Structure 1
């Protein structure tokens, strides 16, 4: 094993979050420098940062569901097309049938869960490989979308629906939420220390936890201050943060979350231990469908229309976000927070290259190369462990 491979394993294993943070700083610094004008950098502005995060929210929603699919040892290639279909359904319900916003949201979410469960049923109970099920869904959902919209853009008329993707929280609400989040993190940290002490487990020095909380708090308030400097916290970003928090709790603190990791790590042993593996897998795909519904609603609201091309290649961004964030392609390992950081990296590349006027084909080449590199790092780390 070469020294380069060892260094890569150490960097992306033990210091994975730090490595991803460094990558974001380098990407932002590069695009900040390349978009520099006499008035300053057009990339490093609160307005562009707000737009970037609102753009990232859609990829983050897909990645937050995809990370569990991959951890369980499966893949879903249909999420981009399902996003487009559900977004198109929302536009048609609003523009053609004048369904109230609450009804539109309920129908779209139900449709997303149903489509996800159907995918999961094919994979879990009918034993069709998830790659084939996802590929079939990619084609079928896109075909239904084109038929539903008759191949043309459907404008959205409801201000309430549009607000889902374009509205901001009232001024200073972001600071209140940031303070509440920081207080929650402090509570969780103290509770974790108390529980470890109760069972005589090793406890990190107080100064380490205090330093982590201090850095986290600085990032949270810096993040909120930047958004408040423009128009406030975008609603899609808030929704994404709630989803990420709920899914992180599910992954780390629930029996269902532990079962997902167990299935990806050793499917047969998990089955023999009494876990209903088929039901768990089908449920994961149902969650993925719900995230497609959220992403589809946000996309349609952000564009104020339903497009037959919406969500095109969205599965690439979601899968790449997970792999960049450290999710193992072999299953059994990955985090929601890592997938969120991966989504931020992918969106930053999209945003920065678009601002530089990079041709679309070059953008696709860059993103594909990064996906290949992320999987190579995962394979390298795995081969070193054996």
Structure 2
């Protein structure tokens, strides 16, 4: 195996157990739950591998009586206020945008729950007497999905907003273990679905299409994992939205796209019946402009199980794509360099610009 300097593969192998442990310990944290009828909206504040938690919750928790909105920005929208249940999620606890939003959420009276491995977010929660769920140290943020996701699901379940959250987590843990066992490094060749996907994608650029909310969340994560793990460009979209714009973009430059773009379709068992027809019709229109079309179908017994199954498979495929091309999947040098540049910039910093205008 090519160099894996940060032990990223081993971290991925432990995801099912990580989710199980986080699910168990989340029940031990005291949270003053909002009275019934006092919450108008749930917001998840987070970026990157932490922010995807909000996208997954919004996708799978379709029975929530209030909307779930993921905010990936600096400034809060005006609807955030005293009747908002806000989850600030940052593995390091030091994500600039998340901290800015969390401080402002407290200022406007939102009920805040923090999830991190420490850092300034933990300090902020302590100063505000807000609950903080402590994640284990030693993970890269994108490899800590289980530790970040379980507390949000447990709190929503305990608050009565998503009673099925516990059962969803149990089913997801079981499916993640099955998928991990199929994809771990000891399984070689075509028997390993992630290795086979990586082999077929090869040096092409993946374009990932999902169906509905679950497929959209998974497709977004696939794109992120291809970027961070394989250090490769990737793009994503979802049905039905893409059939109202992107489908027209294949009318030109087919001589170029058919040499470089591989379409990966992410399918799941909770699709609206019309989505399957859209997959088929769209594929027939654009297939000749692509290198190939690869189809992946989720397994699992619940919405969360199938969403995380697709996510986990994509994480593995992107990691094998890195290793197949002699790329270290762990380090993210471009992001590290960008953060260093922003930290030393002489211009107006994020906190000051937010002070000047807290709302979009």
TM range (shorter): under 0.3
Larger RCO (alpha carbons 8 Å, 6+ apart) = 1
Structure number having the greater strand percentage = 2
TM-score, normalised to structure 2, is: 0.27
Say which structure is richer in helix.
1
